[in-house]
Structure 1
Amino acid sequence: MQPNESPAADSHLTESTREVVLRYHHSWKRRDLEAALALYHPEVEYNDYFQNLRMGLADLRDYVKATMPSRQDEFLDHIDRVRVDGDTAFIQYRTAITFGGSLAVFHSSEAITVRDGLIWRINEYASLVREGSGQRQQVSDTRSATSRLGLSARQLSQLANDLEDYFRKAQPYLAPDLDLSQVASATGYTRNQISYLLNQVMGLSFYQYVNQTRLRHLLEQLRPPLPERIDEMAFAAGFNSLSAFYRCFRQHTGKSPREYMRQLKG
Structure 2
Amino acid sequence: MNSTKTNKTTGKIGMYVLLTIFLIISVFPFYWMVIGSTNSSDKMFTSPPTLIPGDQFMTNLTNLDNAVGIWRVLFNSLFVSGTYVILALIVSTTAAYAFAKFDFKGRKTIFTIFILSMMIPYQATIIPLFQMMGSFNLLNTYFALIAPQLCYPFAIFLMRQNFLSFPTELLESGRLDGAGEFRIFMQIVLPSMKPALAATAIFLFMFQWNNFMWPLVAIRTQDMFTFPVALSTLSGVSFTDYGQMMVGISIATIPIMIFFLVLQKHFISGMLGSALK
Classify the TM-score, shorter chain: under 0.3
Q: Which has a greater percent of strand? A: 1
Which of structures 1 and 2 has the larger relative contact order (alpha carbons within 8 angstroms, sep 6+)? 2
TM-score (normalizing by structure 1):
0.24
TM-score (normalizing by structure 2):
0.23
